[in-house]
């Protein structure tokens, strides 16, 4: 089960030739080339045949991390969000920093049982079993425009459930913003229709 949950996050499968899937930058901005050069391939993690895309070097480099946040901020700001929501756990890294830059509130979308106050939750199906995410009952409401942020769009199940959970409060989700999208996993098909989806880098 632990491996299955990890596989739902950040990985690239090898093709028959042993080469990783191709990559597409979602802009010609030179900042993206600088960011991309720091993403590290870790072969055979978390199991043989997988190339893990490690973003830790981007997070650890103040220039590259700042450039990443700037690019995401530029694409989020036109949607006039009143709050940013980040998915547990790496979505917290990007989401909280972006909320600070935009001078708006941050909503942590957490695994079930991790929030201390009254919550509302949404269950969703994984490849093997079911999971549930929660937010505080008063995290958002009518009139809020909440942009959902995460580091990676893979299979899309968690992000899709998070959108439905946020909109159940009466808030609107105009945009879901990802750092990386693994397009060959077709995660967009799991996301609610009518919500814009953006990713800086697409594999």
* Residues annotated as catalytic (active site), given as ranges: 90, 127
The H or E element containing residue 66 is helix 62-76
Could you give the CA distance from residue 133 to residue 25 in angstroms, rounded to a whole number? Answer: 31
Which residue, 103, 158, 114, is CA-closest to 136? 114
Give residue for tokens 């106050």: 117
Measure CA 140 to chain center.
Answer: 19
Calculate the dihedral angle through the C-alpha atoms of 95, 98, 100, 101, rounding to the nearest 10 degrees.
180
169-200 burial code (b ≥16 CB/10 A, e <16): bebbbbbbbbbbbbeebebbebbeeebebbbb
Q: What are phi and psi of 187, to 5 degrees?
A: -65, -25
What 8-state DSSP symbol labels residue 19? Answer: P
């Amino acid at each position: 089960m632990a491996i299955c949950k990890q596989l739902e996050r950040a990985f690239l499968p090898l093709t028959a030739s042993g080469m990783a899937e191709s990559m597409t930058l979602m802009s010609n901005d030179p900042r993206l080339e600088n960011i991309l050069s720091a993403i590290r391939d870790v072969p055979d993690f978390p199991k043989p045949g997988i190339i893990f895309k490690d973003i830790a070097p981007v997070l650890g480099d103040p220039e590259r991390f700042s450039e990443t946040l700037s690019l995401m901020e530029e694409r989020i700001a036109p949607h006039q969000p009143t709050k940013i929501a980040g998915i547990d756990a790496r979505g917290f890294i990007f989401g909280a920093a972006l909320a600070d830059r935009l001078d708006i509130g941050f909503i942590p979308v957490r695994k079930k049982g991790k929030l201390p106050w009254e919550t509302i939750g949404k269950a969703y199906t994984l490849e093997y079993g079911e999971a549930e995410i929660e937010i505080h009952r008063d995290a958002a409401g009518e009139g809020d425009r909440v942009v959902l942020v995460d580091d990676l769009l893979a299979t899309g199940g968690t992000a899709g459930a998070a959108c439905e959970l946020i909109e159940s409060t009466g808030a609107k989700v105009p945009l879901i913003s990802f750092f990386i999208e693994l397009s060959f996993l077709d995660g967009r098909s799991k996301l609610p229709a009518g919500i814009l989806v953006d990713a800086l880098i697409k594999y």
